[in-house]
Amino acid sequence: MNEDTLNMEVRKFLKQVGVTSQREIEHAILKAVEDGRLQGSEKLDIKMTLELSQLDLTHCIDGNVALE
């Protein structure tokens, strides 16, 4: 195993996750505000789950997103 390759591949994956996740979250929140499902001042609970099935890895990260 080449550790440099592993590091680069993991970083590339995480960059894709970060960019696409941010876009999806922002889109969903903006649409919910537009539709009246959110007022725009809420604090939203959020959870990200990472799964790597070949290694039986599941890791969850809980947090929140404040809209104001």
pLDDT for the residue numbered 49? 97
Per the CB < 8 A criterion, the answer to whether 46 and 65 are in contact is: yes
pLDDT above 90: percentage of residues in the chain: 100
pTM above 0.85, yes or no: yes
Closest CA to 41 of 4, 5, 13, 67: 67
Residue type, 61: I
Average pLDDT over residues 9-36: 98
- Taking the C-alpha atoms of residue 33 and residue 1, their distance in angstroms, rounded to an integer, is 48
Residue 60 — very low, low, confident or very high, per pLDDT cuts 50/70/90? very high
pLDDT for the residue numbered 10? 98
